[in-house]
Amino acid sequence: MRGTTALPGTPCVTPRRGQPPVHRLEVRLPDDVPFAVGTFDTIGPMSRADFPHRHTFYEIVHVTRGSGTHVVDLARWELSPPHLGLILPGQLHHWEDVRELDGSVVLFTPEFLVDHPGDQELLRRIGERPWLRLDPAAHARTTRLIAELTEEYGHGDAGFATVLRSLLHVLLVRTARLGGPAGPAAGQEPPPGRYAAVADAFARLLARTAADGEATGPRSVRECAERIGVTPGYLTEAVRAALGRTPGSLLREARTREAQRLLARTELSVRQVAVRTGFDDPAYFCRFFRRETGMSPGDFRKHHDRRAASIEAAAGPS
């Protein structure tokens, strides 16, 4: 949990020069309950931040009123409430041209999910379709669940953290259903428990690297396996069984996505982006990026140039 939460009023993590700020979850009891819920107004101005920034935590956004655009990485989502959105740790996001934005925000760190480890997979699946328009029935169910979360969090009675985790689990299961059937694909057996645990550790490793802006994140499947404490072969079996993908493809995807974020949202040079994403040789980084995206880093930046000239000065307190 260290590094993902902070007491209210703690300054945000100072970013490397040219990188967007990283915000930790401000909670009253960061060592016990890394969770918060409230309206846009009660959570504070960061809930409507208009400059690109990252989180060390998950954010579920239930928009009930307003207009504008929510930008997550390179995707732009036009508001048309009621909406339900998810921001993953490490993603860049901000709001543009919002008017009368209202709704609720649920914030929690990966460590909060200890009672329901399968929720990591639910969040991964929701993250594939992170911005959902709710029909009246789904909107009503979501409103009731978030109201229960808010009431339980506000009272803080004995055992409230367990109740919060249970209510959050229900919210995630129901949200995942909106994006398609839950559970393994037809004809597949659920992955063995050990496989699921290793795949979850791999997913958390990639997510934490992005959330921390870690320049020394894992560069290879072998390095990922060493950090988790398994062999590369076992890691490949576990991730393929649990996620239907190879760790190599997911690692390449994560590094490419991070490079895209930095190229589009910062003023770092291509050489600096290469270093931040774990490439010692900028020329090799350029070949890698072209192979994965179909264009050079320079061309990608020209097509997605929404950089903030003074991002550090705009950050303010977290």
**What CATH code is carried by the domain that includes residue 135?**
2.60.120.280
- Helix, strand, or coil (residue 89): coil
Give the chain's length: 318
**What CATH code is carried by the domain that includes residue 274?**
1.10.10.60
- Residue 188 in domain: no
Average pLDDT, the chain: 80
Domain identity same for 246 and 108: no
Q: Of 178, 212, 237, which one is at a domain's C-terminal end? A: 178
Give Rg (Cα) of the chain. Answer: 19
Please tell me the predicted confidence (pLDDT) of residue 312: 31
Q: Of 153, 178, 203, which one is at a domain's C-terminal end? A: 178
- Residue 316 in domain: no
- Residue 317 in domain: no
- Residue 211 in domain: yes
Q: Of 118, 147, 178, which one is at a domain's C-terminal end? A: 178
Please tell me the predicted confidence (pLDDT) of residue 190: 47
- Residue 314 in domain: no
Domain identity same for 155 and 16: yes
Share of the chain above pLDDT 90, in %: 31
Residue at token pair 């063995």: 192
Domain identity same for 138 and 164: yes
Count other C-beta atoms under 10 Å from residue 291's C-beta.
10
Residue 122 CA to residue 113 CA, distance in Å, equals 11
Residue 49 CA to residue 12 CA, distance in Å, equals 14
Helix then strand count (H, E) for the chain reads 12, 10
pLDDT at 191 over 80: no
pLDDT at 305 over 50: yes
Domain identity same for 162 and 24: yes
DSSP code at position 181: -
- Residue 185 in domain: no
Domain identity same for 171 and 89: yes
**Dihedrals phi, psi of 83, to nearest 5 degrees:** -125, 155
More confident: 243 or 212: 243
Residue 248 CA to residue 260 CA, distance in Å, equals 18
Cis omega (within 30 of 0) on the bond before 117? no
Domain identity same for 95 and 205: no
**pTM > 0.85:** no
Confidence of residue 257 (pLDDT cuts 50, 70, 90): confident
Domain identity same for 169 and 264: no
Please tell me the predicted confidence (pLDDT) of residue 9: 55
Cis omega (within 30 of 0) on the bond before 82? yes
What's the number of domains the chain is made of? 2
Domain identity same for 231 and 161: no
pLDDT at 316 over 50: no
Domain hosting 112: range is: 5-178
